[in-house]
Structure 1
Amino acid sequence: MTVLTPYSKRQNAPRATSPLIIQIGFNRCGTLSFHRMMKDNGIPALHWQEPGGRNVAQMMLNNLSFGRKPFDGFDGVLAFSDIAFLNGQIMIEGGRLFRTLHAAYPDAYFFFNTRDKSDWIASRAAHANGTFLKRFCKMSGLDEAGAKAAWGEMFDQHTAEVQSYFATATARFLRFDLDHDGPEKIADWLAPDYTIDTAHWGHYNKNSRSRDMRVLEGQGALG
């Protein structure tokens, strides 16, 4: 079962009917920082997978294949982040299904987290001591250079499609640039339904080596 965070410290506890908060950016763009801020503010939140249990992205696809809503079975969870899965056979980028998610949850808050593209590529390449990149190469059949180029193309395509779609859609949408925006932007955006203490914002899984790796490996051309 999903482990939920108690909300006893706050008077304005979210209701089960409160709008969902769905992160639709890529991993390595502050997803864990976002999750921790939600969780530490008492919002029932789920990041990547249940503790020792089901992966959110896999369950989302399973639900859709059976004609269910994407997050059926995650009762009580209000905030979803890092909706992704990768092994040597398949990769699921849940944020790419933002149109389906918006159709299923039109009242949800859609959080598009982003950052400098070249730094993001370098961070992904360094993630999990480089094993994330190795798994992607095995899954895609690309070498490391090809994998990083593919990530860059996917980053550009996703950014363009998200911004184009939400420019005209009636939706609660926020573009959050990890390099330039602060947590108060999130708090103000969620204020109609949630009270957020920005003191709970922090940087987690931050890889200080990513920018240096980009320079050493010549990834600046991808930026």
Structure 2
Amino acid sequence: MLPKFFQIGFNKCGTTFIAKLFDLNGIPAVHWAEGALADDIAWSKMTGRAPLQRWAGETVAFTDMESVRFLNMPVIEAFKEYAFLDASFPGAVFLLNTRNVDDWVASRYLHWGGRYARSYAASLGVGLADLGDIWRQEWQDHIAGCRAHFAGRDRFIEIDIDEATPDDYRTALAPWYDLSVAPKLPGAGVRKARKDYPARLQQMLDAPAPRVHAPRRDRLAARLAGFAQPARLSGRVDCPSDHAVLLDMDAGRLSDAKGRQLPVMRGPGGRFFQDAGHFGLLRSTSTANDIAQVARGGRYWLDMRPACLTGSVQPSGGPVIAGLRRKGAEDVFLWPAPWLHRIGNDGFPGAPLGDDPPFQDRADLAVWRGRLSGYAQDPHGDDLRHWVDGATGNSPDAGAIRRSARWRFLERNAGLPGTDLALHPDDRTAGVLARVGLSAPMRGDAPQGRYAISMGGGDGDADFLPLANSHAVVLKEEDGWESFVTGLFKPWRHYIPLASGGADLAERLAWARANPDECKRISGRARRICEGLADPAGRQAHLAQVLAAYRAATGQG
């Protein structure tokens, strides 16, 4: 039986190559698993259970054991838990992979177009420029710790990926694994791109940080907190619905609507961790971490589904915190959708815009790319939510798809002159449409048009905010849903309103083309709001006020 293998160097040090080395030779390996490996190791150590049992039966090699998510979850670098893994898997082989530390720092900064570094910095609560020194110190500490722990052990191997050839890997691991086939090392294109690292990194670090003066910050926080409050309160303070979970900050736990404790617990530093594999809890757990940063105690009901129908279509049993509500809903306090509306994410103001030409230099086009998801309203007023591209189990039928606002939008407008409207290319969406006998245009990257269309969807302003932060003018569908920023952006002042399903797109575009100067002003006012939203101190003040209002509504003082 082959011994377990753990790669315990940092990411961006050839981890994918190491995983492929095992895969190509028929030795089962798991690489990253979208952070689940790291989540499992952290949870196992906290709870005293054996780690990686979900994979340990057949998997031999484990690589890239870290979790840095684009939402408020702890940064977990589980490869640093080499002592725990060593004790849990006697006889395992450990590989410490290294490279030139300055190249590694630059590569980490630029990983995923800078999103990785922005999310990492947001999680630590530090500035982007501070990460370089933090990472260098962690590099030195980790390597020294590994060498001390494994001193004199033949099953501890070090490989400098800058110098190593495929034969070096095979030779070093030959006592335990037959690795006769090796993947190719990075080619000339990758090596050439690395030469551009210093200039690209400097450009990233030189990007100006948002600057918001204290009086404006206070006004913006108060406006956001005011809009977050429900249209009305029912006076009930029970469990809001079967979909809600209860965050008890005093006990440091999450429980479901029936009082059963969920696999979430507060760990070192006050952050909430969760057991791996429970991806449906990530929205609630990350919201708990948001709350933990601005509140010491209290009990908070959360409904962080992509859309909360409590207090509108569905009855409410009491106040709840949600990421999206129907207009006029009772008892629903609004909170930033955790998956997208967080500083550090590409979908939130503050991320570098990249190439963002001014309005007059853009193509005279109205542009939309999106998924076939959204909402429709049946004659009885019930909201039907459709996630065609993410459907599992029974797919929607043709009638359900045709009732969705996005389908109606494409059906009405796909051939309209001066537009470029299409779905993102997606095999699952194409498969669903083919099964029900429908077809729709699918295209890749969109041109930079003057008119950016935002259709309502699963996370409210997920599409709208990045568009509002650009030099395009946004045409936004009025779909009856409210997110935490809906109250800030006013039709005809910060965007051009569209009827449900874009029924009036032709008329709105005709107005926009006849009024280019006003379009520029609308776009500028929207960017001004986005600048304020990207301010971390203002965000903290806004969220603290929402929680204070929630506690007052639930009799918590």
How high is the TM-score relative to the length of structure 2?
0.34
| Cα displacement (A) at 1:125 | 0.4
- Which of 1 and 2 has higher RCO (CA within 8 Å, sep 6+)? 1
| Cα displacement (A) at 1:199 | 3.4
Q: Bigger shift: 133-142 or 54-63?
A: 54-63
1:57 aligns with 2:41: no
| 1:11-22 equivalent positions in 2, closer than 5 A | 17-22=1-6
1:69 aligns with 2:45: no
Q: Aligned equivalents of 1:73 and 1:199: distance in 2?
A: 27
- How high is the sequence identity, in percent, across the aligned residues? 30
Q: Bigger shift: 147-156 or 194-203?
A: 194-203
Q: Please give the secondary structure, in 2, of the residue aligned with 1:163.
A: helix
Q: Aligned equivalents of 2:100 and 2:110: distance in 1?
A: 16
Q: What's the counterpart of residue 214 of structure 1?
A: 198
Give structure 1 regions of 4+ aligned residues with deviation exceeding 4 angstroms.
Answer: 204-208, 215-218
1:93 to 32, 53, 77: 77
Task: For 1:127, give the aligned amino acid.
Answer: H
On the 8 A contact 1:21/1:79 being kept in 2, the answer is yes
Q: Bigger shift: 199-208 or 58-67?
A: 199-208
1:80 to 59, 62, 79: 62
1:120 aligns with 2:104: yes
| Cα displacement (A) at 1:66 | 3.2
| Cα displacement (A) at 1:78 | 0.4
1:109 to 89, 93, 100: 93
On the 8 A contact 2:24/2:181 being kept in 1, the answer is no
2:115 to 131, 143, 151: 131
Q: Aligned equivalents of 1:143 and 1:207: distance in 2?
A: 29
Q: Aligned equivalents of 1:214 and 1:62: distance in 2?
A: 37
On the 8 A contact 1:36/1:201 being kept in 2, the answer is no
Q: Aligned equivalents of 1:84 and 1:106: distance in 2?
A: 22
Q: Aligned equivalents of 2:159 and 2:169: distance in 1?
A: 8
On the 8 A contact 1:115/1:179 being kept in 2, the answer is yes
| 1:128-207 equivalent positions in 2, closer than 5 A | 128-168=112-152, 170-203=153-186, 206=190
Q: Aligned equivalents of 1:129 and 1:145: distance in 2?
A: 16
| Cα displacement (A) at 1:171 | 4.9
How high is the TM-score relative to the length of structure 1?
0.81
Q: Bigger shift: 200-209 or 20-29?
A: 200-209
Report the RMSD for the aligned CA atoms in angstroms. Answer: 2.2
Q: Could you give the per-residue CA deviations for residues 176-220 of structure 1, whole angstroms, max 9, x where no partner exists? A: 1011122222212222232112432433995754443336657xx
For these two proteins, the number of residue pairs brought into alignment is 198
Q: Aligned equivalents of 1:171 and 1:101: distance in 2?
A: 16
Q: What's the counterpart of residue 8 of structure 1?
A: none
Task: For 2:91, give the aligned amino acid.
Answer: D
Q: Please give the secondary structure, in 2, of the residue aligned with 1:102.
A: helix
Q: What's the counterpart of residue 10 of structure 2?
A: 26
| Cα displacement (A) at 1:67 | 2.2
Q: Please give the secondary structure, in 2, of the residue aligned with 1:69.
A: coil
**Structure exhibiting the larger radius of gyration computed from Cα positions:** 2
Distance verdict in 2 for CA 1:208–1:71, change over 3 Å? farther
| Cα displacement (A) at 1:111 | 0.7
Q: Aligned equivalents of 2:128 and 2:172: distance in 1?
A: 38
Q: Aligned equivalents of 2:156 and 2:54: distance in 1?
A: 25
On the 8 A contact 1:106/1:171 being kept in 2, the answer is no
| Cα displacement (A) at 1:135 | 0.3
Q: What's the counterpart of residue 9 of structure 1?
A: none
- Gapped runs of 5+ residues in structure 2? 203-557
Task: For 2:143, give the aligned amino acid.
Answer: T
Q: Could you give the per-residue CA deviations for residues 16-68 of structure 1, whole angstroms, max 9, x where no partner exists? A: x3101100000000000111111111110000007xxx711001122223322
Q: Aligned equivalents of 1:193 and 1:117: distance in 2?
A: 29
Q: Please give the secondary structure, in 1, of the residue aligned with 2:13.
A: coil
Task: For 1:188, give the aligned amino acid.
Answer: T
Q: Please give the secondary structure, in 2, of the residue aligned with 1:197.
A: coil
